[in-house]
Amino acid sequence: MKFAVLVFPGSNCDHDCYHALKHVLGISVDFVWHGDRDLTRYDVVILPGGFSYGDYLRAGAIARFSDVMKGLDQHIRKGGYALGICNGFQILTEAGHLPGALIQNRSTKFICEDSYIKAQTGDSFVTSKCGVDDILKIPIAHKEGCFVADEDTLDQLDRENRVVFRYCDQEGNVSELANPNGSARNIAGIISESRRVAGMMPHPERVCEEELGGSHGLTIFQSVMEVFN
Amino acid sequence: MIARITVTLKPGVLDTQGRAVHDALKTLDQATIDGVRIGKYIEVKLDETDIMKARTAVKEMCDKILANPVIEDYSIEMDSEG
């Protein structure tokens, strides 16, 4: 089992992901620069958070055309796994690997705070170690995190059990009040039709050690590891 | 030739910038404002004399990069004098 963490100009959560995977979980992981095309050695590709290409034009819009994204297309076509976190989620939607789009938060503000999210299904490579309705405390840090899609797409995501996380309050109530950014149907993370590509706005890599404020992020990475056990 | 491209959010997609500017405009106490939408203006210079060819190329640029069809619409104005 080998992980790649992609590095775009402006990625800034790449080292956090690398640290959580390598030093906390003991996983074999490499950084892969955006100019490389070869991802054939990897089982799981992580697209980390940050501001790739300065978020110019739209968040994720320019990164989508990096050479490494051609390698990612091939990786996904061959059945490889990919997880986009925050800016990585934005890149995956821009690239068409995930439906919908991430637009500016309803409040117009950059939000950096703990969020509570509820696993919606155990049938995904990011939630297999979560119980359905498990509540995870995982921080968000974004200005463009409001998930939007047309009603048909939202219905399809629900029908196909492809919403993996929804924002909720500390008690697990999924409500407007617990929706930090205005995302449609409180969506915090989704998975592709193939169930091998996932995107989420919260940052699990930031909460993998109690010393850093929590360890709920581990559940997500341990779910990914479970695929290979 | 210059292509002048306007990208706007589709109707119904929340425009937070537009809403904030709307609120600011209301403080002027002038005409009644029904709504404000903010978009992007992009100029692309092309080394092409055939306006139809140029328009087709620009349309592809809009579909693939300059606009996100999930949330945005665009319009193109070709200026052969530019």
**ipTM of the prediction:** 0.83
N-term to C-term CA, chain A: 9
Residues of A with Cβ-Cβ distance to B65 under 8 angstroms: 57, 61, 65
Q: Considering the candidates A86, A146, A168, A208, report the single residue annotated as catalytic.
A: A86
Please report which helix (H) or strand (E) contains residue B45, including its range: strand B40-45
Q: How confident is the model at residue A219 (pLDDT cuts 50, 70, 90)?
A: very high
**CB contact B10 to A (< 8 Å):** no
Name the average pLDDT for chain A.
Answer: 97
Point out the residue among B19, B40, B68 whose CB comes nearest to the CB of A101: B68
* A36 neighbors A71 (Cβ within 8 angstroms): yes
Number of domains in chain A: 1
Cβ pair A148:B66 closer than 8 A: no
Q: What was the pLDDT predicted at A131?
A: 84
CA dist A114 and A96 (Å) reads 28
Q: Considering the candidates A17, A34, A146, A205, report the single residue annotated as catalytic.
A: A205
Cβ pair B70:A93 closer than 8 A: yes
- pLDDT tens, residue by residue, B7-21: 999 998 999 999 999
Q: What secondary structure does DSSP assign to chain A, as a single string?
A: -EEEEEE-TTB-SHHHHHHIIIIIT--EEEEEETT----TT-SEEEE--B-GGGG-SSTTTTGGGSHHHHHHHHHHHTT-EEEEETHHHHHHHHTTSSSSEEE--TTSS-EEEEEEEEE--SSSTTTTTSPTT-EEEEEEEESS-EEE--HHHHHHHHHTT-EEEEEE-TT----GGG-SS--GGGEEEEE-TTSSEEEESS-GGGSSBGGGTB-THHHHHHHHHHTT-
Q: What was the pLDDT predicted at A189?
A: 98
**CB contact B68 to A (< 8 Å):** yes
A203 tagged catalytic: yes
Local structure of B63: helix, strand or coil? helix
Point out the residue among B13, B17, B65 whose CB comes nearest to the CB of A148: B13
- pLDDT tens, residue by residue, A155-199: 999 999 999 999 999 999 999 999 999 999 999 999 999 999 999
- Residue-range domains of chain B with CATH: 2-79 (3.30.1280.10)
d(CA A24, nearest CA chain B) in Å: 38
> What CATH number is associated with residue A193?
3.40.50.880
d(CA A121, nearest CA chain B) in Å: 26
Q: How confident is the model at residue B29 (pLDDT cuts 50, 70, 90)?
A: confident
Closest-CA residue of chain B to A108: B16
What residue type is B13 in one-letter code? V
Residue A146 has pLDDT above 80, yes or no: yes
Distances (CA, A) of A13 to A9, A85, A95, A195, A224: 12, 9, 20, 24, 18
Q: Which domain holds residue A47?
A: 2-226
What residue type is A154 in one-letter code? L
What are the two backbone dihedrals, phi and then psi, of residue A85, each rounded to the nearest 5 degrees?
-115, 125
Q: What was the pLDDT predicted at A197?
A: 98
At CB < 8 Å, which residues of chain A contact B?
57-58, 61, 65, 93-94, 99-101, 103-108, 146, 148-149, 182
Cβ pair B65:A65 closer than 8 A: yes
Residue A229 has pLDDT above 80, yes or no: yes
User: What is the mean pLDDT of the segment spanning B56-81?
Assistant: 95
Query: Among residues of chain A, what percentage have pLDDT more than 90?
Result: 97
Residue B31 has pLDDT above 80, yes or no: no
Local structure of B56: helix, strand or coil? helix
> What is chain B's length?
82
Q: How confident is the model at residue B5 (pLDDT cuts 50, 70, 90)?
A: very high
